[in-house]
Structure 1
Amino acid sequence: MGINRGFSFESFQRWRRSFEIGFWPVLFVVNTVFNAIISVMDHPNFPAWQPWVWESSSAIVMLALVPALIAASRRWPIRFETWQNNLPRHLAFSVAFSVIHVGGMVALRKLAYAVVGQHYDDGLWWSHFGYEYLKDVRTYFWMLAGIGLYRLWVMRFQGEARLLAEPDVGPPLESVEQPERFLVRKLGKEFLLAAREIEWLQASGNYVNLHVRGRDYPLRATMAGIEARLDTQRFVRVHRSYVANLDFLVEIEPLDTGDARLLMRDGVKIPCSRRYRAALRERFGQPAAV
């Protein structure tokens, strides 16, 4: 069965951010509705509003914790070469995750009950935290796995860049320390990307995105590490998170703050911080104080 040609990664990119933000509220709303209905059926002697409060309070706090979980997944990715170091970190973080979740939902339940003039008995929730943690740690790692699978899917369609390795036999045909090309793997295929075609680079967690003709190819590296391996005659650091290719720079727009915006050839603007602006102007033969 072939790939549906009606779908393109470029079209997905236009609404990717909206999808990534909107997915979580939709997921938790649907999950809350189903859980609340089941909880109402399981507790026929309770007023119907109470199970809805129980389930919605849990979902609200869990949803608020999603950004922290996403940040943790970026900081401590679980891969074959990193899982031994990062799995214990996630286990430790999951404890804090569960404490905040349980404490937060109990506080919301107390507030909801107080609004209707009743008292919510938490039964000293910390005394049975182990039970709550077993549920939360399962949810934590399911969410972590979902985030990881989504990123793998994105990389499969987007393409992931890698540095060329030295050959097993004989000297390399080109410099490995200052690569002229990068290897990109996409949809099971490989192709070479010339370094000079990279318009700019942007740091993103444990990756550096190589921007080429409207596409971003993530490279597993640090900005400082890859910057040291680029041609300094062509590439220049312009921001803590950006390196620009001067061949694609069209205009420097100064800002009142002392920073600047760089207009690239394709019309995209990237930031230039005050720290790097003077050095950039000197590259074009202009006084740094101007």
Structure 2
Amino acid sequence: MQLSKEYFQKHKFAFEVLALLCYFSINATINTTTVLMEEAREVNRSFQLWEPFVWEFSSAFATLLLFPLIAWFMRNKPWNWLTIKTSIAGYLLAAILYGMLHIALMVTMREFVYLFTESDYQFSNGMQQLLFEFLYELRKDIWSFCFLVAIIAIYRYLIAQWLGDAQPISNNSGIEDNVSTTESLANILLVKKLGKEFLIKTKNIEWVEACGNYVNLHIDNQIYPMRITMTEFMLKSRNYGLVRVHKSSAVNLNWVHFIEPLSSGDGEIVMQSGTKVRLSRRYKVDFETLIAAQVQLN
């Protein structure tokens, strides 16, 4: 069964959580078995069999809890090659902060688990060893932060290339970095997809559909995803004849062919392309009012 883009968009968060759980669980298991196999070479084992599982999985779950913060940081403070010194300083500071939080979470988890055992967990004995252990873990965490940043950047690039990523082109200042920074959509949108760039006119959008964290723009039987909420999109597209007809869809009045009432009280909008879009009772009155106003203007 082929994974459709629409299905992936709707369940993108679930796919990402599952992938992260699988990766960190497998990585922690491999690290645990490595510790056990190395210790098997010794005549006398210095720890109990369950302890490496606690050590490695506490580290993995601490990383998993901090992963959304890394993604959030990268989205709000994207790397900028034009201000490379500022970017290096910002990401280095973030890496150190990540390392400190990771160590704190990891040690807290271990201490909690050891409360239910007869064993005693000690991160260090004395201030000198505490500093050594802290620097030892921080060194690894900074490198781990760099690795995770690279993975997130590559993942976002590949997803944008696969799904397509529509961005507005400002009439005055070129390509906008973020659609949410503009008061309204520009006349032309730039779509980067599979290594190519497409220019589409906003007025040619036939209908739009909310799909997870995206809004899919339907134009000439093609789908162009834009990372924006449906509510925000409607606020920015009000000048292009787009009207919301359902909590997850809107249509362009200029592309409506006819409306067919349904026995449930809802309606079905048939577009000029033949596409059928559900008209919810919640939006039916407002939609019909706008249609009537459009007719009077014409």
The question of whether the paired residues in 1 share the 8 Å contact of 2:244 and 2:251 is answered with no
Q: 1:48-197 to 2 correspondence within 5 Å?
A: 48-81=49-82, 84-123=85-124, 127=131, 128-164=133-169, 179-195=186-202, 196-197=204-205
TM-fit CA distance, 1:185 = 2.9
Deviations 1:88-137 (A, max 9, x none): 33322222222221111111211222211222111167524222111111
Distance change >3 Å, CA 79–CA 217, structure 1 → 2: farther
1:232 to 202, 221, 239: 239
C-alpha distance in structure 2 between counterparts of 1:75 and 1:22, whole Å: 24
2:8 to 9, 13, 25: 13
Q: Which runs of 5+ in 1 are unaligned?
A: 1-5, 168-176, 251-262, 273-278
Structure number with bigger Rg: 2
Secondary structure at the counterpart of residue 114 of structure 2: helix
Distance change >3 Å, CA 82–CA 283, structure 1 → 2: farther
Distance change >3 Å, CA 191–CA 154, structure 1 → 2: same
Q: What is the CA RMSD across the aligned residues, in angstroms?
A: 4.6
Amino acid at match of 2:190: L
C-alpha distance in structure 2 between counterparts of 1:83 and 1:121, whole Å: 41
Distance change >3 Å, CA 18–CA 268, structure 1 → 2: farther
Aligned length: 253
Deviates further, 34-43 or 119-128 = 119-128
Distance change >3 Å, CA 199–CA 37, structure 1 → 2: same
The question of whether the paired residues in 1 share the 8 Å contact of 2:171 and 2:186 is answered with no
C-alpha distance in structure 2 between counterparts of 1:72 and 1:16, whole Å: 19
Deviations 1:12-52 (A, max 9, x none): 62654432120011001100111011112334422221112
Larger RCO (CA under 8 A, 6+ residues apart): 2
Match in the other structure for 1:3: none
Percent sequence identity over aligned pairs: 21
Matched, 1:24 2:20: yes
Higher helix share: 2
Using the size of structure 1 for normalisation, the TM-score is 0.65
Secondary structure at the counterpart of residue 144 of structure 2: helix
Amino acid at match of 1:187: L
Using the size of structure 2 for normalisation, the TM-score is 0.64
Distance change >3 Å, CA 53–CA 161, structure 1 → 2: same
